[in-house]
Structure formats: structure tokens, C-alpha cells
């Protein structure tokens, strides 16, 4: 069976790109990275891709007069790559409605919260300010509205009483590195279908027990 071709879009360090690179190195992983595109030149994620021997391209958003022109150039490059799935991995550009619709159910994103909570920027700061006991990350199909779309995989991450934004970010990021390859694997195996804007996963199991935070360490 042919492996699903991925295009990964980045704008920065590319740690989720690295998680996908590592997953795609496994001989039984059902996907491979055909192209990595950055919206910014000289970012560390391009070095990661180059070090892995992957094809890269820079489509600098500053070189275009508007979002539509940028998205048109991005769309052409993606179609030339033969990618069947586009993965946003720290891609710091808002995509136009036309682009999102043209790649509908072939465009995924990862967000550092349990969507629909804390959409948009500063998710960790807002989670701490809200005093939630759990936050996490979400891999979802992209829709024109920001951080919306059918949810494929989520991970719940406990919030500690002494957390800072940085410690919480690192804990969530570790979960992201597990969630993204899993979501891509499920899609590549043909196990994900969208029905009434809900992603249904064939053959998936779910945890049965609740997780409590905080735990009563005194045992009462």
C-alpha cells in the first residue's frame, strides 16, 4: 500500500515537524513527508527538515501583497508536491476561506488546548488564569474559522498548582508530539471519516476511567 504523502507547514522551531519526521522513519508508518514549507526564511524547522533529507521551500508571506496571493502561491506548491494531507505545525499564518475549503478534510492543525476551550493565541496563559485542572492539545481538521473543525485526537494534560506558562507549555508540547503522529496514522490508514462535522475513528478504543485532579493525597 502506498504511503500517504504529507506536506508540513511551519513558521518556527518545528518540534511537531520533528515528531512527524521521527514517526515517518518507522518502516510501518503509513505516511511520508514529501515537502516542508516555511512561511519564514532561516527558521530552525528548515534545518530539521534539511537534516532529515527532506525537500523544503520558503514561501515568505512578506513577499505577497495580501493573504489571497500568499495562499495561491502556497496552494500551487502543495499541489506540485503531490501531497494528500497538509499538516500545520506551528504555522503562524491565517489561511483564507478559499484555501481551507479547497483542502477540506485534507488539512489538519494542532492546537495547544482542549478545543473548543481557549481558541486562538495565549492558550496556556488563559488556561492558568482560568484555574482549570486540565488542559491539553487537539489535532483537528481545519475549517475557515480559526481553531475550529472536526476533532481527531486530543490529549488531556493536568495543570499543576506550581505551573508557570513555560512548564505547562512543555508538558502540553510533549503530548502534542504523541498526538500528531497518531492523528496522521489514523488518517493515512483510512480510519477517519467526517460525518456531520464529527470525525469518526474506525476501530478506535477509548479510556474507560475518569482522571481526577487534584488527587486526595491524604487518602480520605
Per the annotation, the verdict on 111 as an active-site residue is yes
| Beta bridge pairs of residue 140 | 109, 151
User: 11-47: b or e for each residue (b if 16 or more CB lie within 10 Å)?
Assistant: bbebbbbbbbbebbeeeebbbbbbbbbbbbeebebbe
| CA angle, 118 then 120 then 122, to 5° | 75
Q: What is the largest CA-CA distance in the chain?
A: 63
Q: How is residue 31 written as a grid cell?
A: 505516511
- Per the CB < 8 A criterion, the answer to whether 169 and 137 are in contact is no
The Cα 8–Cα 33 span in angstroms is 7
The Cα 200–Cα 153 span in angstroms is 11
Catalytic residue among 111, 124, 140, 177: 111
The Cα 212–Cα 40 span in angstroms is 42
- Please give the positions annotated as active site: 111
Amino acid at each position: 500500500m502506498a504511503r500517504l504523502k504529507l506536506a508540513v507547514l511551519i513558521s518556527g522551531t518545528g518540534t511537531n515537524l520533528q515528531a512527524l519526521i521521527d514517526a515517518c522513519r518507522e518502516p510501518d508508518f503509513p505516511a511520508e513527508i514529501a515537502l516542508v514549507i516555511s512561511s519564514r526564511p532561516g527558521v530552525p524547522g528548515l534545518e530539521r527538515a534539511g537534516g532529515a533529507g527532506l525537500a523544503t521551500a520558503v514561501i515568505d508571506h512578506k513577499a505577497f501583497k495580501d493573504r489571497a496571493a500568499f495562499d495561491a502561491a502556497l496552494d500551487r506548491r502543495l499541489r506540485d508536491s503531490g501531497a494528500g494531507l497538509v499538516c500545520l505545525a506551528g504555522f503562524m499564518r491565517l489561511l483564507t476561506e478559499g484555501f481551507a475549503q479547497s483542502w477540506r478534510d485534507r488539512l489538519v492543525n494542532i492546537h495547544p488546548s482542549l478545543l473548543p476551550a481557549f481558541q486562538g493565541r495565549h492558550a496556556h496563559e488563559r488556561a492558568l488564569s482560568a484555574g482549570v485542572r486540565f488542559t491539553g492539545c487537539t489535532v483537528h481538521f481545519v475549517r475557515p474559522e480559526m481553531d475550529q473543525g472536526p476533532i481527531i485526537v486530543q490529549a488531556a494534560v493536568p495543570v499543576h498548582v506550581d505551573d508557570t506558562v513555560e512548564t505547562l507549555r512543555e508538558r502540553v508540547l510533549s503530548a502534542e508530539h504523541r498526538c500528531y503522529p497518531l492523528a496522521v496514522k489514523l488518517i493515512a490508514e483510512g480510519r477517519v471519516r467526517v460525518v456531520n462535522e464529527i470525525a469518526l475513528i474506525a476501530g478506535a478504543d477509548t479510556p474507560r476511567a475518569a482522571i481526577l485532579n487534584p488527587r486526595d493525597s491524604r487518602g480520605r
